[in-house]
Structure 1
Amino acid sequence: MAAFGTVFMPKMALTTFENNQWGQAQTVAADSIQLHPGAHVLHYSSTCFEGLKAFRHSDGSVHLFRMDQNVKRFAQSSRFLSLPAIDEAQVSKMIVDIVAQYAADVPLPPGSMYIRPTHIGTEGAIGKAAAPTLSSMLYVLLSPVGDYFAGGAKALRILLDETGMRCAPHMGMIKSGGNYASALGPILKAKAEVQADQILFCPNGDVQETGAANFLLIDGNEIITKGLDSSFLHGVTRSSILTLAADLGMTISERNLTVRELLERAAKPGVEAALSGTAAVLTPIGTFIHNGKEIKVGSGEAGPTTQKLRQALNDIQWGKAPDTHGWLTKVC
């Protein structure tokens, strides 16, 4: 099977911002865009994106999961990067229309259609290092994907890094490629030196997020995760998991968590830790690596609460459980 996110539908939805207004959305070949080599995005990283999914239900219908939240975050990222303000209604319609066009290609469970709205600055002006682009392009790519964990979810090895940050603090809430690029060097180093799967960035002992996911600590009936601030990405999956956990009667503690407390709790029997994100939903953590030592989390394998919460979210997405929170948008 092809690697996750490497297969694309042949067409995508696209619109451009020129002369202070958005043009009419079009369906174009997915490999058809052209950029001036001086485009703002290529020199000054005026780019943001989103990731959401469409799911096929047993009756054949196709549904988007929490599109409204992704579009709101997309608008926020564009605004914080001084890109032209997006038209949220237009973007939502572009997503619905392009998914409807390829509804027959939405995989059956456990697969889904991964959706990647992207906004980039296109003005050819290399003198604009300290000025925003006046033109931009917005497109919606589709990628049919299988189960992120083909063969089963493997508990991850996570390096706790108290010296670095994933990105600049004021950029944390923005879903921009530069944030992922800034974390890549430390992650590759951690993979090579201690065989870590990811880094959990904990600047000055403050437990934040990994390079591409939010962090949750599960201690008995309590979930502990960092309270929302501008330093890290406000994940839609994180929000969904916390809502479902509260529905199950769990205690949700959104607060600062230190590395010291994390390691003290992780050593207790039955404690679980996980990463949340669109692609993998909820990924178990089996081992923390800190100051040259390895600390097993609980049993070192996926814990029952992690599995239960992941399944609860999947069941809503695939129409196997009631959508009591109004998270699904029916496409067709």
Structure 2
Amino acid sequence: MSKNVNIDWNNLGFSYIKTDFRYISTWKNGQWDEGKLVEDNMISISEASTALHYGQQCFEGLKAYRTKEGKIQLFRPDQNSKRMNNSCKRVLMPEISEEKFIDACIKVVKANEHYVPPYGTGATLYLRPFVIGVGNNIGVKPAPEYIFCVFCLPVGPYFKGGMCPVNFTIADYDRAAPYGTGAAKVGGNYAGSMLPHKLATKTGFADCIYLDPATHTKIEEVGAANFFGITKDDKFVTPKSPSILPSITKYSLLHIAKEYLNMETEERDVLIDNLDEFKEAGACGTAAVITPIGGIEYKGKLHVFHSETEVAPITKKLYNTLYGIQLGDVEAPEGWIVEVK
């Protein structure tokens, strides 16, 4: 490491820490500038920016991992790039080339290399790329200018003291509209989820599960994560819907279940009335990789899967394989790892 930072790596949470450099690029007159690393973590924008008034913005989340050998690697950043461009298209913002996106992430990691936690601590370097509409504009139309930025911060392991199943309840609210922005990673989806999350935690649950907005009969998302279940005959099943955010972790798990664990996999409707078909269930996303689901409260009853206290065996295998790939301990499929050199 090029510089010592005074951080207790074993006791990191998931909260903002200002690191030394972030990348920033501006779109004006139909093109992105070259972009540069800056030290200032404040952005100055017009009071009339579309990001502030009309929610014209999107973001991504990915991580850099330190391997046992001390190398630093990114996990599938090309997939974050593709998803960010899909979000940009959905809210009429200019796309960022995959080359520019990955280059920005690598530059930020290299410039803040001393903030990449050591192997074995369970901590990682979290990257937050985002695009916002800026400039003087008061009508409901696309912004005249845009900012693309990537910043990073070290974060601790999602589960303090080890992975443990948690319980969820069904939300009375919808996360997204049937033909809305559910498949885009835009801030409005998250703003709308804060109240149902608060109501769920108030009643003792980890978060809430959102059903499909059209019929309220099918599981869509678990808080800000994707759902999966393991059937009694060992199939890996995950919901399919145009209003679910396509999780990079979920698609990685689909591949791992099939290619590493020789399981059958299905993306299909998951009916809330058919919870009995699953012996294990979990939520998956960048932050936790996998959050095991102990039980789901539905119509006043708690449906328990494997256990409320123990992580189920297939869920554990999926987690260990994916996390092992991210840390460089398990061989990765071709193209999944980008080494930061």
**TM exceeds 0.5?**
yes
Equivalent residues of 1:106, 1:113 under 8 A apart: yes
* Equivalent residue, structure 1, for 2:338: 329
TM-superposed deviation, 1:29:
2.0
* Equivalent residue, structure 2, for 1:292: 300
Compared CA separation, residues 289 and 133, structure 1 to 2 (3 A) = same
Q: 1:280 is matched with which residue: 280, 288, 291?
A: 288
Q: 1:57 is matched with which residue: 56, 59, 67?
A: 67
* Higher mean displacement: 176-185 or 24-33: 24-33
* Higher mean displacement: 243-252 or 201-210: 201-210
Equivalent residues of 1:50, 1:118 under 8 A apart: yes
Deviation string, structure 1 residues 53-74 (Cα, Å, up to 9, x no partner):
1111111111110000000111
Equivalent residues of 2:228, 2:282 under 8 A apart: yes
Which 5+ residue runs of structure 1 have no aligned equivalent? none
* Equivalent residue, structure 1, for 2:252: 240
Paired AA for residue 164 in structure 2: K
Deviation string, structure 1 residues 137-171 (Cα, Å, up to 9, x no partner):
0100101112111211221111123x532122321
Task: Give the 3-state SS of the residue equivalent to 1:205 in structure 2.
Answer: coil
Equivalent residues of 1:166, 1:210 under 8 A apart: no
Task: Give the 3-state SS of the residue equivalent to 1:171 in structure 2.
Answer: coil
Equivalent residues of 2:165, 2:307 under 8 A apart: no
Equivalent residues of 2:136, 2:144 under 8 A apart: no
Which 5+ residue runs of structure 2 have no aligned equivalent? 1-10
CA distance in 2, matches of 1:30, 1:298: 48
Paired AA for residue 210 in structure 1: V
CA distance in 2, matches of 1:85, 1:330: 24
1:201 aligned onto 2:213:
no
Over aligned residues, Cα RMSD in angstroms?
1.4
* Higher mean displacement: 296-305 or 312-321: 296-305
TM-superposed deviation, 1:329:
0.3
* Higher mean displacement: 295-304 or 309-318: 295-304
1:184 aligned onto 2:194:
yes
Paired AA for residue 258 in structure 1: L
CA distance in 2, matches of 1:30, 1:52: 22
Equivalent residues of 1:84, 1:135 under 8 A apart: no
CA distance in 2, matches of 1:216, 1:12: 35
Deviation string, structure 1 residues 252-311 (Cα, Å, up to 9, x no partner):
01110111112x225xxxx11100000100110111111122222222232111111101
* Equivalent residue, structure 1, for 2:185: 175
TM-score, length-scaled by structure 2: 0.91
* Equivalent residue, structure 1, for 2:223: 211
1:102 aligned onto 2:112:
yes
TM-superposed deviation, 1:226:
0.9
* Equivalent residue, structure 1, for 2:269: 256
* Equivalent residue, structure 2, for 1:318: 327
TM-superposed deviation, 1:2:
4.5
* Equivalent residue, structure 2, for 1:18: 28
Alignment: residue pair count: 322
Paired AA for residue 271 in structure 2: T
1:149 aligned onto 2:162:
no
Equivalent residues of 2:166, 2:295 under 8 A apart: yes
TM-superposed deviation, 1:91:
1.8
CA distance in 1, matches of 2:70, 2:161: 25
Equivalent residues of 2:20, 2:111 under 8 A apart: no
